Structure 1
């Protein structure tokens, strides 16, 4: 027997998961306790959620023949591809992870610090002064340029526009519901698939260009990856490498506008609190490959067990980047971006919210983003 959970049909739970994601989770926890079971169209089996710190630690430490990552991201395969780090599991996932990790970790980060700060100031030059604007979109533009430079060594405006147009299709709640429940080559989902084909054309053009000698694309080429493998990893890095960081930055600016803080010296405590109270991702799921004991329940093989980042963080624990062998490979890089961008903002602007009340968390594809796009007003410091 699975733990109890909402009794509504899968379609209705999917709508709640999209329209009111955090309320859906809070209500389920309040009514059924933990763990609890949800059923949505985003996974091929029921999903059992927990926010208990010890259980989350045990899930992240589980051996790959007990719990398997990757399966829970299968709904993203039409976009990221079957060779994506998000989809792969086992030895192949670890091999690809070890290949891609170095540019985002350790000493390699130092080379990007000055360039990120420089790009941040260049983008701040485009901010409107004294009038409302949506900081989320500005942060998307900035983080996409940063990740393009890391992956390709230069920016690519055509690919930037194609990628953003595709991801923006999932920003519409109506589109996201339709794409989740009616996956046909018609309507929003059909347009989404067509848009992916355009991205593929542009990515393959970059793959076929001569080597620059100093980019992630060159690194992956040297590994002997096929064109399809290159495409899948590049699209994954482009999308995941900017959208989640942009959302975290949008939340940071939304919070900073309401709680002014000098971030020029040490922004880390502020960043940690933003990531705890406004996590970008709600869950990090694993599939059970054999019966799994969870808080007094024996889960059968073939269901998902999911640490719930949102609920865990509400209990004081902060796990914004997941854990175990599937912890976000770009965690250190994302924190560097957050640090440098927020320092730049704090050096140049005072910001205030457009409205007094804070913005609720709204689902944009897999991320939990500010519902109004992090609306702020910026004024230059004297």
Structure 2
């Protein structure tokens, strides 16, 4: 017997999951307690959500023959591919993870600080002053340029446009609802698949070019990966490597406009609080491969145990990047981007909001983003 949860049909729960994600989670928690069960079109089985720190710790530590990651991201496969880190599990996931992890840590990570700062200041040069603008699309543009530098060693305007064309289709709430409930080769989902075909053309062309730099693409090529495997990992890193960080930066700027602070010295405490109160992802789910006990409930094989980042963060210590062997491989790199960009902004502008009320959280693609795109006004300091 699964824990109780909302009784509405899956389609209605999916709409709530997209349109009012945090309200949906808070309401279910308040009405049914924890854990509680939800059903959406984003997963092939019920999801049992928990925010209990000890249960989350236990779920992250569970061996792969008990709780399996990857299956919960199957809905992303048409975009990221079947070889993506997001959908792989077991030994193959660990193999690919070990391959892409080194460039995002240690000395390899530290050498990107100056590049990130330089690109950030170049973008700040284009900001309008004294008038409202949306920070989210600007942060998407910046973080996509940064991750392209890391992956390819250079920027690629055509590929950047193709990626944003696909992802922007998921930024519209009506589109996201339609794509979640009606996955057919027409309408928004059909346009999305066409956009992915264009991404494939450009990524495969980049893979086939001779290598001239020391980049992640070169590293992956040396591993002996197939063209399809290379394509899937590159698209995953390009998309996940900029969309989530851009959303976190947009939230940071939206919060900074309402809670001014000097972040030029040490922005990390501010970053930690933003990631706690405005997490970019809502859950990190694992599928049960055998009966699993959660808070006194014995869950059957084939359902999802879903640590709920949003609800857990409201209880205390944040877990913005997940945990266990599926913790975000780019967590350290994303944190570096947040620090460098916020330092640059704080050194050049005083931000203020165009209206008093803060922005609600809306689902954009897989992220929880500012509903109005993080509207801010930037006033030059001098």
Same fold, TM-score > 0.5, yes or no:
yes
After superposition, the C-alpha distances for 1:205-256 in whole angstroms (9 at most, x for unaligned) are 1001110230000000000000000000000000000000000000000000
Deviation for aligned residue 1:106: 1.3
Map 1:140-159 → 2, pairs under 5 A: 140-159=140-159
Partner Cα separation in structure 2 for residue 107 and residue 300 of structure 1: 45
Residue of structure 2 equivalent to 1:44: 44
Partner Cα separation in structure 2 for residue 144 and residue 52 of structure 1: 35
Map 1:123-202 → 2, pairs under 5 A: 123-202=123-202
3-state secondary structure, aligned to 2:282: coil
Residue of structure 1 equivalent to 2:302: 302
3-state secondary structure, aligned to 2:128: coil
- Across the aligned residues of Structure 1 and Structure 2, the Cα RMSD in angstroms comes to 0.5
Structure 1: which 5+ runs fail to align?
Answer: none
Residue of structure 1 equivalent to 2:211: 211
Partner Cα separation in structure 2 for residue 30 and residue 130 of structure 1: 42
3-state secondary structure, aligned to 1:347: helix
Partner Cα separation in structure 2 for residue 129 and residue 365 of structure 1: 29
Residue of structure 2 equivalent to 1:237: 237
Residue of structure 2 equivalent to 1:369: 369
Partner Cα separation in structure 2 for residue 86 and residue 16 of structure 1: 24
3-state secondary structure, aligned to 1:121: helix
Partner Cα separation in structure 1 for residue 64 and residue 209 of structure 2: 38
Residue of structure 1 equivalent to 2:78: 78
Residue of structure 1 equivalent to 2:282: 282
Residue of structure 2 equivalent to 1:337: 337
Deviation for aligned residue 1:316: 1.2
Partner Cα separation in structure 1 for residue 178 and residue 90 of structure 2: 33
After superposition, the C-alpha distances for 1:185-215 in whole angstroms (9 at most, x for unaligned) are 0111111101100000010110011102300
3-state secondary structure, aligned to 1:37: strand
After superposition, the C-alpha distances for 1:255-274 in whole angstroms (9 at most, x for unaligned) are 00000000000000000000
3-state secondary structure, aligned to 2:114: helix
Residue of structure 1 equivalent to 2:313: 313
Runs of 4 or more, structure 1, over 3 Å off, are none
Residue of structure 1 equivalent to 2:266: 266
Partner Cα separation in structure 2 for residue 109 and residue 204 of structure 1: 26
Residue of structure 2 equivalent to 1:33: 33
Residue of structure 2 equivalent to 1:58: 58
Residue of structure 1 equivalent to 2:96: 96
Partner Cα separation in structure 2 for residue 308 and residue 239 of structure 1: 22
Partner Cα separation in structure 1 for residue 19 and residue 334 of structure 2: 27
After superposition, the C-alpha distances for 1:320-362 in whole angstroms (9 at most, x for unaligned) are 0000000000000000000000000000001101111000001
Deviation for aligned residue 1:71: 0.1
Deviation for aligned residue 1:317: 2.4
Residue of structure 2 equivalent to 1:67: 67
Deviation for aligned residue 1:107: 1.4
Partner Cα separation in structure 2 for residue 244 and residue 132 of structure 1: 23
Deviation for aligned residue 1:365: 1.2
Residue of structure 2 equivalent to 1:222: 222
Partner Cα separation in structure 2 for residue 317 and residue 45 of structure 1: 29
Partner Cα separation in structure 2 for residue 11 and residue 329 of structure 1: 32
Deviation for aligned residue 1:131: 1.0
Deviation for aligned residue 1:143: 0.3
After superposition, the C-alpha distances for 1:98-117 in whole angstroms (9 at most, x for unaligned) are 00000001111111001100
Partner Cα separation in structure 2 for residue 261 and residue 132 of structure 1: 20
Partner Cα separation in structure 2 for residue 213 and residue 247 of structure 1: 29
3-state secondary structure, aligned to 2:28: helix
3-state secondary structure, aligned to 1:298: strand
Deviation for aligned residue 1:379: 1.0
